[in-house]
Structure 1
């Protein structure tokens, strides 16, 4: 056989194999990542593991999750979008969010969902760590909760909760989405950790699922 013809035949055969090969064979490696190596015994181990199994969140390339690390604003909107199933994109006008940024689509979705307003200077600050107060405001807006300043007054540090976040903090607390510290404070100005973010957002998912089930139940003559 002519060597040139033989090479061409082999190339065509390989191309045919690749064209009809299962898509899973080319899935990203992280899609099949094992559970994180650094969450054993952590208070949020169960919920983090569940989120990883569902593909809602991934760890780092070294196999860790770093549950106590802070979360950036970009990372948080990605998590919130996934938790509540938001997918529609809006028009991004933030001066510091470029169209080729890895988080652009997530921010666009957050804008359309109506929970992401940014700052007065027109920025979003995607790489800045998000505080517990900011996280509470985003969750409250995403869930369309009514402001509840009275519920925020129960925290020992209520006087230190910023006015722009007090109603949202009270709302997410009353709804059971976010909890305070063991010392009775909410710790609004501190950053939210990866473990805290997953736990809080998981509770919003549970509430939604329970509400959907409740809406679907029809009772008649004691029969459900």
Structure 2
């Protein structure tokens, strides 16, 4: 029999051999039961479990599971956290099927093959695409756990948690460097000045310039930081010498997002320097920085031969440099000449510009930047979507609705709404190809190598 006395339960077996009874309460909220230990004469003990039954209600076959212990630990300098969740001692985890961890948007954040569930649920959580105030949810489905002393199974649990002192450390905060990592740079004389360029991705700013590590590097002037078209560009004027290897390391916290919510991880790049007169280039090489092994070598060489594109007087092509809208106009107009020059397309900022005749020859096929009506912005960088749309219009490829489905494009949401139809047509017609991760990055600036690849591809069709 049971009798409630001052929030305790007195248990009577009616057996005079009981010397004394000890009552312990264990997680009545999570298990819905009292665990009672009774000590008999002679020291023998026995354990009984009393389910909590609310008057006029029927006892349920399920119970609410609860988390007893949590622990979070950042792994090294990465954007990965080791997480541990321990259930209370009276519960056994019997199945891990269906246990997931997502962010507030429902995105799976588990690092593949990191999940474990022995004495506790442990996993690695990838926060690379999260915000610093992100909320995460541990989903435990029904019948994943069972009480130790009965055949009751858990109800579904969605346990919400945040990571303490969460601070994102993005590793991919650099868009390009010049020279690129591993490149060779050729100089005329020892001690020549080389302006090393680091271009940060959109949305990043320099947080602590002192985090730039440059051992054995002789500067000819101060390091400069400028902003161009919303991107931060760091210029490092270095004195360089032949047969030397140079390296620049950016320590954690060198850069941060403009909103201050995330700081950068570590990054580094290196390059070597050689005297030009000491180097014999292969006969087929056109530029010092586009060697026969370069992925765009054939396309660049072909377009140079045709006079469609050219390099710089110093013998470099700079394949990873961005293309301005004026340069894009010249390349497209040269590759696909139009005999008629329109007088209707006039812009306030191109009349005295060197590329004015090429811009006019395009007949307006290169779309203006968003919210522009009478400014061409010739010296600003053009984007991948702008070039695709210009070629679709130049080659008259748009013949109604594209058969290409936007569902197949991971980052279709980044396409300008007024350019979406032509951009889909451009993908369908093979003007542009995506990256290895499935993205097309329509709003990203197009590089000189990418431009050469696209123009060559369309001339070859």
What's the TM-score, normalizing by structure 1? 0.71
Gaps of 5+ in 2: 1-284
Structure 1 residue aligned with 2:439 = 185
Paired residues of 1:73 and 1:129 also in contact (CA < 8 A): yes
CA distance in 1 between counterparts of 2:367 and 2:289 reads 35
Does structure 1 conserve the Cα–Cα contact (< 8 Å) formed by 2:326 and 2:379?
Answer: yes
Query: When the two structures are superposed, what TM-score results if normalisation uses the length of structure 2?
Result: 0.36
**Is the 2:324–2:382 contact (alpha carbons within 8 Å) kept by the matching residues of 1?**
yes
RMSD of aligned alpha carbons: 1.8
Deviation at 1:188, TM superposition (A): 0.8
Q: Could you say what secondary structure the match of 1:57 adopts?
A: coil
Going from structure 1 to structure 2, the CA distance change for 1:162 and 1:72 (only over 3 Å counts) comes to same
Q: Number of residues paired by the alignment?
A: 171
1:93 aligns with 2:343: no
In the alignment, the residues of structure 1 paired with residue 306 and residue 430 of structure 2 have an alpha-carbon distance, to the nearest angstrom, of: 22
2-structure distance, mates of 1:37, 1:151? 41
2:390 is the alignment partner of 1:138: yes
SS in 1 for 2:365: coil
| CA distance in 2 between partners of 1:183 and 1:74 (Å) | 30
1:54 maps to: 306
Matches of 2:290 and 2:330 in 1, distance apart?
Answer: 21
**Match for residue 289 of structure 2 among 25, 28, 38:** 38
Q: Partners in 2 of 1:117 and 1:160 — Cα distance? A: 16
Match of 1:25 in 2: none
- Tell me how far 1:117 sits from its aligned partner: 5.1
Q: Does 1:167 pair with 2:414?
A: no
CA contact (8 A) 2:346 2:360 kept: no
Q: Is the 8 A contact 2:403 2:428 kept in 1?
A: no
What is the rounded CA distance, in whole Å, between the counterparts of 2:434 and 2:367 in structure 1?
25
Instruction: Report the Cα distance in structure 1 between the residues aligned to 2:404 and 2:307, rounded to whole angstroms.
Output: 37
Change (3 A) 1:76 1:107: same
Compare the two structures and name the one with the higher helix fraction.
1
Structure-1 separation of matches of 2:308 and 2:334: 6
User: Alpha-carbon deviation of 1:166?
Assistant: 1.5
Question: 1:62-141 to 2 correspondence within 5 Å?
Answer: 62-91=314-343, 92-98=345-351, 100-111=352-363, 114-116=364-366, 118=368, 120-141=372-393
Structure with more relative contact order (C-alpha pairs < 8 Å, separation 6 or more):
1
Give unpaired runs (5+ residues) of structure 1.
1-33, 208-224
- Quick one: distance in 2 between partners of 1:151 and 1:85? 32
The match for 1:204 is 458
Which of the two has higher C-alpha Rg? 2
CA drift of 1:130 comes to: 0.3
Q: Could you tell me which residue of structure 2 aligns to residue 5 of structure 1? A: none
Native 8 Å contact 1:39 1:67 kept in 2: yes
Change (3 A) 1:118 1:164: same
Q: Answer whether contact 1:78 1:106 (CA < 8 A) is retained.
A: yes
Matched, 1:158 2:409: no
